Chains A and B, each alone.
Chain A
Amino acid sequence: MGTDEIVERIKSRFPDDVLSVTEFRGQTGITIHKKNLLAIAGFLKNEADLNFDLLRDLCGADYLNKRAPRFEVVYQLYSIKNKHCIRLNVQVSQKDTHIKSVTSLWIGANWHERECFDLFGIVFDGHPDLRRILMPEDWEGHPLRKDYPVEGPAVEWKGYDEVLKKTEEYKQYQWYR
């Protein structure tokens, strides 16, 4: 099935949810509203002629000062049987950073969603175990947001301060002075 047909299928089934369709370098992305995400994702996965069974990737994006809904969650889907792929861009606003989790459809989304939560602060409702994954659990802020400084926060992470203090303390055990 060609990408155009897939887009048509989704458009005819969920006419109100598809906001726009972009095509770039032969890749098609469908921007949808987050309200009906689970229904659309379930439709994409379970319809026999669509059958997007492999979630290749899930990630967030931050469009600070560029677009109205600030965040986007991007799903890269692929169907192993039908050998076609599509991208879902789901818009998430800054005010309400909640979005439905797709772990019930693809278990592999588990860690991707955790990472997205960790680095963007997007909360996935219905996720079985939403914790930080790459950053320490007591880290403040979400590093991949555009308003987060690249060089890191001004105040040092307190875990690192503890380590520094410990090294000072352990210097008394050095055999050389």
Chain B
Amino acid sequence: MDIKQMPAIDKDTLKSENLVLNMGPHHPATHGVMRLLLELDGETVVKCTPYVGYLHRGVEKLAEDMTYLRALPLTDRLDYISSMTHNQGYCYAVETLLGVEVPVRAKFIRTMVCEMSRIASHLLWIATHALDIGAMTVFLYAFKEREFILEQFEALCGARLTVTYPRIGGVRNDVSQEFIDSVYDFTNYFPSKVDEYERLIDRNRIWFKRTRGIGVITAEEAVNYGLTGAALRGSGVNYDIRKLFPYDAYDSVDFDVPIGTHGDVYDRYRCRMEELRQSNRIIRQCIERLPKGAIMTKDAPKVTLPSKKKVLTSMESMIHHFMVITKGPINCPKGEVYVATEAPKGELGFYFISDGEGKPYRMRVRAPSFVHIAALPKLCEGGLVADVISNIGSIDIVLGECDR
């Protein structure tokens, strides 16, 4: 055909449409059952809409029908890769509500196991985050140390993931000397392992290119979005519940809060890597300063259970045990508390409304992952598809916690 005979191209009728890509609920990089609806112009993300709720189990509703003691295992299932900190957050919140003071030894043990749990969670995070960006070796390197921690948990309380080890008023059982020895030995070599992970990726040009300047969020925006944890600290805001509202033994151990500057994926990564070392420091100090004494409070008989031996030999203890199990803590005060703890993902808040019965009238879980996923469109829009993956990795989400 002669070129002159060809119809002129009308720029108004020529239009391109954005490609709508449904990422998830089954996708290797969404870290669970989350769905992202991406609108793509070529490879650029124009719009990102997260959909959550696939794992919604109604934990808050269930807890309203359970006593304070029975609702504790529900918190294991929130963040199943760091259940220790979630148990601790729940127990600390209930203790605050009921006015229970925990023995010092139990505080130190709790702090120690929670920091171990934080290390395990961060190791899983660096493993999957690096795998998402394509560095697959870090995954298996990090899993070895994580496996060690999970084995220690198993030795401590018989469970690897859903531990239910911290209890209201203390911890379930005392730590053995072997446990302490092996964990102390672990703290000796763990910092060198962190160096090893960093050597694998940290000064790699491709890693820089994939993480620096990606998913930038300024300090003001991050605060406005309600981000917490390493996601907020990566933007340069010094906000760590362990320092601001010290709970358990955090006021008697010495540690630093790493803070980033740029608020990009790389700074969030740096913060968490540094937190691994700080957690290691905390564990060491906890072991070194571990005091002797009780592991379960004796001041609050109406909250805690009597010992099994007493239950089997004494009638009163039997009745007491029965009452606490069936009715929950007796003579609960009326009131409402919001108690936050620093979970590996961010601020984990428990908000209780008590009407004086043994059950929470309302239990609200402020899950960090939920808030972080809400900020995902801000991080992803304008970037490329590959950046979506690094952003999901960098905010460190667990969908069990997000959907509750």
Contact = CB atoms under 8 A, between A and B. Distances in A.
Q: In their complex, do chains A and B touch, with some C-beta pair under 8 Å?
A: yes
Interface stretch (B28-36, B220-228, B292-300): B220-228
Given A107-B378, A110-B374, A144-B61, 7 more contacts: A25-B96, A27-B338, A54-B226, A61-B364, A74-B336, A80-B223, A108-B375
The contact size tier of chain B is 35 or more
A46 interface: no
Contact of A59 (B52, B56, B64, B351): B351
A33 to B, nearest CB: 18
Interface string A19-41: 00010110101000000000000
Contact of B61 (A27, A53, A57, A150): A150
Contact of B337 (A24, A134, A135): A24
B166 interface: no
Contact of B60 (A22, A106, A133, A144): A144
Nearest to A66: B355
B337 A108 contact: no
Interface in A51-106: 53-57, 59, 61-62, 66, 74, 76, 80, 83, 87, 106
B65 interface: yes
Contact of B351 (A24, A57, A132, A133): A57
A48 to B, nearest CB: 15
B347 A56 contact: yes
B333 to A, nearest CB: 8
Q: Which 3 A-B pairs have the closest CB atoms?
A: A108-B226, A24-B335, A111-B374
A74 B244 CA distance: 22
B338 A107 contact: no
A107 B224 contact: yes
A42 interface: no
B374 A108 contact: yes
A89 B237 CA distance: 27
Contacts of A55: 226
A148 B65 CA distance: 12
Contact of A83 (B64, B237, B244, B347): B244
A116 to B, nearest CB: 10
Contacts of B227: 108
Given A54-B223, A66-B355, A150 B64 contact: yes
B78 interface: no
A112 B97 CA distance: 23
Given A56-B347, A57-B349, A62 B52 contact: no
Contacts of B371: 108, 111-112
B53 A133 contact: yes
Interface of B: 52-53, 56, 58, 60-62, 64-65, 96-97, 99, 220-221, 223-228, 237, 239, 244, 333, 335-338, 340, 347, 349, 351, 353, 355, 362, 364, 366, 370-371, 373-375, 378, 403-404
B111 to A, nearest CB: 21
A107 B225 CA distance: 5
A150 B62 contact: yes
B336 A24 contact: yes
A133 B226 contact: no
A98 B379 CA distance: 31
B351 A22 contact: no
Contacts of A62: 362
Contact of B226 (A56, A59, A115, A148): A56
Nearest to A79: B223
B74 to A, nearest CB: 13
B224 A108 contact: yes
A25 B374 contact: no
Nearest to A61: B362
B234 to A, nearest CB: 15
Given A25-B96, A80-B237, A107-B224, A74 B337 contact: no
Contacts of B349: 56-57, 76
Contacts of A112: 371
Interface string A138-151: 00000110001010
A66 B356 CA distance: 13
Contacts of B364: 57, 59, 61, 74
A106 B224 contact: yes
Contact of A61 (B225, B353, B370, B373): B353
B65 to A, nearest CB: 5
A152 to B, nearest CB: 9
Contacts of B355: 66
A22 B371 CA distance: 28
